[in-house]
Amino acid sequence: MSGNSIRDTFFEECEELLEALVEGLAAMEDPNHDPEVVNAVFRAVHSIKGGAGAFGLDRLVHFAHTFETVLDKVRSREMDVDEGLMHLFHRSGDVLTDLVEAARDEREPNGTTEAAVLEDLESHLGGADAEEEFSFDALTLDFGTPMEITPEERQFEIRFKPFRTLYDNGHEPLLLFDALAEIGTLEVKADLDALPAFDSFDPMDSVLSWTMTLSTAAEEDAVREVFEFVDGLCELTIGEAETPAPAAQPDPEPAVDVIAEADSAPKPADPAAEPVAQTASKEARGPKPTLRVDLDRVDRLINTVGELIINQAMISQRIEELDLPTAAQLSNELEAYKLLARDIQEGVMAIRAQPVKPLFQRMSRIVREASDATSKQARLVTMGDSTEVDKTVIERLSDPLTHMIRNAVDHGLETPEQREAAGKDPVGKIKLSAAHRSGSVFIEISDDGAGLDRKRILEKAIDKGLVAADAELTDQEIDNLLFLPGFSTAGSVSNLSGRGVGMDVVKNAVQALGGRVSITSTHGAGTTFTIVLPLTLAVMDGFIISVADQTMVIPIASILETIRPNAKDLHTIGTDSQVIRVRGSYVPVVNVSENLGLVPPERSGVGVLLLVSTETHGLTALKVEDIHDQRQVVIKSLESNYGAIQGVSAATILGDGKIALILDPDELVKLDPASVSPSLSLDTRMEPQHA
């Protein structure tokens, strides 16, 4: 493995460790948290420090060492966790993340923030602790408080001498020591008798061994389980001491007996040992081994599967043109081919699917920073963070989500004094949730603030000439003014954007992903932004439809039902608007061909209605000429290959090789100049005229 590959592996491990750190710190905020949570946080920081030391990242090592020293005082119950210390731990996690990213990108980190947090950490330590530095030279390790044997505990003497193959297989003695320390009180002493002279030292040899004393209430089988993954790779003896040994006394020989951190054990010369060992240990103990694959390879595989689906559609088209008997064996084989292609596609897409948890975790930091910048109090509550989304969606959603979270704190929440005066908790709540619904991913960002000031929004729009002074707009139309370029209700410039500043950028970013964003707000109760995204950006199921004699596709996930109405079921409102009665309610009818600027054929007749649920207009019936087939289609970006078209989200290639546009129901409804408001469409008391 090359040096760069080893380094890349280390930083990939750091990403996982930082995620575990954020998750653990969030759990620590619960006063009744499991003590193991603190151990997990400590181990995450500790592992980052160990790997950083192997690569000579001294700045990262120094900060991580100070951070874990304070954590160690918490886990040994020398220090209680209060709100101030918890805030410091979160800030320390942010700085640790910055230092890791700076080391990865080979850039200079923010020294001012680092120094301030480091000073706060050191203020929680005594002089000796604050000055103690991480070192690989200490050879006697203490994993806890001085050893005292209780009547329920037993004491084991462990002799451990690794073979060279143990290191070759990516194992690390330190992780074994950590595991032993979790089940009892552990003392470790290194045996240097086999250490050769310096001029004959081979760094690839395994010459060190360790003698350990473990005091634990666990059985001997539990002790042996710690070493089960290195069985055959070491010389190991475990025996129970007949009488408790006295407290360890300093070795009379000079030189190397000091009390140090658990990571002070000598490391293999190969710098790959630390990160690879972490991976090997984690995968061995975890239920699911993982394999890292370059994302470009996955993308190439997805593109190939897309071509396979197009090829399958083309073969189906050619066979249909042959007009074979319905019972022909070829048709059966083709159906099996179709199902196999779908299974392959679903399997490949599952490879790219990732939970939104890492993205949601990063938003905790955004809330903290925004709260500090605005002198407000806020906490983030996440739900559905295990919801899986395409990796590309997660990557491209980070910036718009960050902007919306900042706006929620800056202009969504009131000041603590205002909240208390309104009878609210002075600490505002930002809720971030994700869920799968109707074949799409719904992400909601909500706050429990004062809600949108629609009067002020309308006044600003009139002042800017965006809306006529005598315009009468619905609440939904006023809310949507926030998505106009450059629109802002902020009275003064602040460090953070006001609600609405840059919201057009947010909307464009979401639309570029094939999604949409909407707003709901209640005065005094808060505001919710809803982002609806496709599950995948590669393949989808759609209806093949005719619109003005052109073949198009509409996503099946957006269709509630299809209706082939009689002429008597349609009613006219005003001069040319139509509605259809569906189970006691009148639903507006939108003519797709007219909204796209196409001329419908004279023979179109009543056509077929597709009942869809839209974010802005509720239930709506889309009128098309006919439905031909249900088919899985490969999504091709229209904007990057041609340009944006209103009412159209993407394009695809059909079995006959022709290009078909993929329609966006929400945008089609917005294009309709005579679209009926939701309140009118649900009013069963109106009296429409028969067409």
Find the CATH number of the domain harbouring 182. 3.30.70
Q: 446, exposed or middle or buried, with CB in 10 Å at 0-12, 13-18, 19+?
A: buried
pLDDT score for 447? 92
Domain endpoint, select from 285, 306, 335: 285
- What is the residue-wise DSSP string for 115-181? HHHHHHHHTTS-HHHHH----S---EEE-SSPP---TT-EEEEEEEEE-HHHHHTT--HHHHHHHHH
- In this structure, the answer to whether residues 551 and 604 fall within a common structural domain is yes
In a domain, 445, yes or no: yes
Q: What is the pTM of this model?
A: 0.58
Distances in whole angstroms, Cα of residue 406 to Cα of each of 241, 371, 379, 414, 532: 60, 9, 12, 13, 20
In a domain, 50, yes or no: yes
pLDDT score for 640? 65
Query: Which residue type sits at 458?
Result: L
Number of structural domains found in the chain: 5
Distances in whole angstroms, Cα of residue 133 to Cα of each of 14, 69, 274, 535: 21, 10, 19, 49
In a domain, 635, yes or no: yes
Question: What is the H or E stretch that residue 321 is in?
Answer: helix 295-322
In a domain, 347, yes or no: yes
Distances in whole angstroms, Cα of residue 529 to Cα of each of 122, 206, 366, 504, 675: 41, 59, 17, 13, 23
In a domain, 226, yes or no: yes
- In this structure, the answer to whether residues 233 and 199 fall within a common structural domain is yes
pLDDT score for 261? 35
- In this structure, the answer to whether residues 27 and 95 fall within a common structural domain is yes
Question: What is the H or E stretch that residue 4 is in?
Answer: helix 3-28
Query: Any bridge partners for residue 176, and if so which?
Result: none
- In this structure, the answer to whether residues 384 and 502 fall within a common structural domain is yes
In a domain, 471, yes or no: yes
- In this structure, the answer to whether residues 361 and 278 fall within a common structural domain is no
Domain endpoint, select from 260, 285, 310: 285
Measured CA to CA, the distance from residue 200 to residue 196 in angstroms comes to 6
CA nearest to 151, candidates 251, 264, 51, 243: 243
- In this structure, the answer to whether residues 466 and 569 fall within a common structural domain is no
- In this structure, the answer to whether residues 411 and 548 fall within a common structural domain is no
CATH of the domain at 633: 2.30.30.40
Distances in whole angstroms, Cα of residue 209 to Cα of each of 161, 173, 174, 295: 4, 10, 12, 41
Residues of the chain short of pLDDT 70, as ranges, are: 1-5, 126-152, 198-199, 242-290, 324-328, 438-439, 486-502, 536-538, 601-605, 614-617, 639-641, 672-691
Measured CA to CA, the distance from residue 264 to residue 18 in angstroms comes to 22
Q: Does residue 207 contact residue 168 with C-beta atoms inside 8 Å?
A: no
- In this structure, the answer to whether residues 103 and 16 fall within a common structural domain is yes
- In this structure, the answer to whether residues 379 and 495 fall within a common structural domain is yes
Instruction: Catalogue the E-assigned strands of 474-574.
Output: 516-522, 526-534, 539-547, 550-555, 559-563, 570-573
In the 3-class helix/strand/coil scheme, how is 429-454 assigned residue by residue? EEEEEEEEECCEEEEEEEECCCCCCH
In a domain, 290, yes or no: no
Helix (H/G/I), strand (E/B), else coil: 295: helix
In a domain, 275, yes or no: yes
pLDDT score for 99? 92
Domain endpoint, select from 336, 354, 372: 354
Structure tokens at 487: 């629109």
Q: 112, exposed or middle or buried, with CB in 10 Å at 0-12, 13-18, 19+?
A: exposed
Task: Say what angle helices 35-54 and 273-285 make with each other, to 10 degrees.
Answer: 150
Query: Which residue type sits at 268?
Result: P
Structure tokens at 652: 């695809």
- In this structure, the answer to whether residues 345 and 396 fall within a common structural domain is no
How many C-alpha atoms does 341 have within 13 Å on its Cβ side?
Answer: 25
Pairing assessment for the beta strands 608-614 and 577-582 based on DSSP bridges: unpaired
- In this structure, the answer to whether residues 407 and 423 fall within a common structural domain is yes
DSSP state of 484: S
Query: Which residue type sits at 492?
Result: S
Q: Residue 585: which domain range?
A: 539-690
Each residue of 521-565: pLDDT tens digit?
888 889 999 988 877 666 778 888 888 888 899 888 778 888 888
Residue 566: phi and psi, rounded to 5, are -85, 160
pLDDT score for 430? 93
- In this structure, the answer to whether residues 194 and 225 fall within a common structural domain is yes
Measured CA to CA, the distance from residue 2 to residue 412 in angstroms comes to 50
DSSP state of 293: -
